[in-house]
Amino acid sequence: MAVTAKLVKELREKTGAGMMDCKKALVETDGDIDKAIDVLREKGLSKAAKKADRIAAEGLVRIAFSEDHSRAAVVEVNSETDFVAKNPEFIEFVEKLAEMALEAESDSIDAFMDLTYGEEGTVKEALTAKISKIGENMNIRRIHKVGTSGTVYTGYMHGGGTIGVIVGIKTEAGAAEVETTGKDVAMQVASMNPKFVNETEVDKAWLENEKEIAKQQLLNEGKPEHLLDKIIPGKVKAILKEVCLVDQKFVKNGDQTVAEYVNESAKSLGKDMVVTEMVRFEVGEGIEKKEEDFAAEVAAQMNK
């Protein structure tokens, strides 16, 4: 089988080995990429492949904004340990990816991975190079961008990048005018993790499931079934106040809701403000982390 430039490139992306080493391995294996990976591993030249099966559940979230804050983007990049998440080179890499996500055409990770990353080739190739250099498995997990007309975006980073939040406020005010209010609301999102911005966004299937859970709880408490229809509406109202951002008690002032705080700020500013969007990324959420005690982890590092 002919060894093409495309094959060499694919092998390099999978292993992080040098171009000439990849070409030699492919020639040796008659173009069989799986066998070529084995050859490189046998020679100790494959740097990334042996790390690919490790769980990357730590990492960083970064957010980026256009100059006028009419657009925003957030990216999550995972690593195996929080040590790497504090690595200056890793931090710079994630920050640059956030800026690139801001200019990307969509939220498609596949399309994003094919974008050009400076002189290092594609984003995918740059990631492979970082894996080889830093020595841990890494993964660009997700990106999200927003840019609704008439909306100003602000944000908040928590814990050095463990949580990143973007909040969109519909207003005629400028970014500087809504910055404080927007950051306060973003901190609310980071802290309380609401599911929806307001009641109109609530997923009907989710709400029906919550009603069924509430009914069963009431029955378990011994409430008569014929009274449930009278009790459930109150339960639903209480649930919505917990899961809808604008109806939550404002963490900085429990005497008012988030909506009341925003309205108060708008009145002081003299310009309307309505919270319409939120995006919240938390590092590793939904990823099943491998349980390993610290001593074992250190021993494993020393034996590499």
Can you give the CATH number for the domain in which 21 is found? 1.10.8.10
Per-residue pLDDT of 64-85, as tens digits, reads 999 999 999 999 999 988 888 8
CATH of the domain at 88: 3.30.479.20
- Among 78, 113, 147, where does a domain finish? 147
**Which two three-digit tokens encode residue 115?**
């974008």
The mean of the pLDDT values for the chain is: 88
Kindly state whether residue 227 falls inside one of the protein's structural domains. no
What is the Cα Rg of the chain in Å? Answer: 25
74 and 139 together in one domain: yes
68 and 93 together in one domain: yes
3-class DSSP string for 246-269: HHCEECCEEEEEHHHHHHHHHHHH
User: In which band, very low, low, confident or very high, does the pLDDT at 54 lie, cut at 50, 70 and 90?
Assistant: low
- Among 147, 176, 194, where does a domain finish? 147
Kindly state whether residue 171 falls inside one of the protein's structural domains. no
Instruction: Please tell me whether residue 168 adopts helix, strand or coil conformation.
Output: strand
Do 54 and 77 meet the contact criterion of CB atoms below 8 Å apart?
no
Kindly state whether residue 206 falls inside one of the protein's structural domains. no
Least confident of 48-52, 150-154, 170-174: 48-52
Mean pLDDT (whole number) for 152-158? 97
Kindly state whether residue 114 falls inside one of the protein's structural domains. yes
41 and 84 together in one domain: no
What's the CA dihedral at 261, 175, 117, 136 to 10 degrees? Answer: -30
Distance between the two ends of the chain, CA-based, in angstroms?
Answer: 35
Which structural domain range is residue 124 located in?
Answer: 54-147
- Among 147, 173, 203, where does a domain finish? 147
Q: How far apart are CA 58 and CA 278, in angstroms?
A: 23
Q: What domain count does the chain have? A: 2
79 and 16 together in one domain: no
Q: Which residues pair with 157 in a beta bridge?
A: 164
Per-residue pLDDT of 256-277, as tens digits, reads 999 999 999 999 999 999 999 9
129 and 141 together in one domain: yes
Kindly state whether residue 138 falls inside one of the protein's structural domains. yes
Do 9 and 40 meet the contact criterion of CB atoms below 8 Å apart?
no
Residue 52 has pLDDT above 70, yes or no: no
Do 46 and 37 meet the contact criterion of CB atoms below 8 Å apart?
yes
For 110-160, give the DSSP string: HHHHTSB-TTS-BHHHHHHHHHHHH-S-EEEEEEEEE--TTEEEEEEEETT
123 and 110 together in one domain: yes
Kindly state whether residue 32 falls inside one of the protein's structural domains. yes
User: In which band, very low, low, confident or very high, does the pLDDT at 304 lie, cut at 50, 70 and 90?
Assistant: very low
18 and 98 together in one domain: no
Which pTM does this prediction carry? 0.76
User: In which band, very low, low, confident or very high, does the pLDDT at 291 lie, cut at 50, 70 and 90?
Assistant: very low
Q: How far apart are CA 304 and CA 7, in angstroms?
A: 29
Kindly state whether residue 33 falls inside one of the protein's structural domains. yes
Kindly state whether residue 263 falls inside one of the protein's structural domains. no
45 and 115 together in one domain: no
Per-residue pLDDT of 189-231, as tens digits, reads 999 999 999 999 999 999 998 888 888 888 888 999 889 889 9
123 and 77 together in one domain: yes
Do 214 and 236 meet the contact criterion of CB atoms below 8 Å apart?
yes
75 φ/ψ angles, rounded to the nearest 5 degrees: -135, 145
65 and 140 together in one domain: yes
pLDDT at 45: 67
Q: How far apart are CA 76 and CA 238, in angstroms?
A: 33
Q: How far apart are CA 171 and CA 166, in angstroms?
A: 16
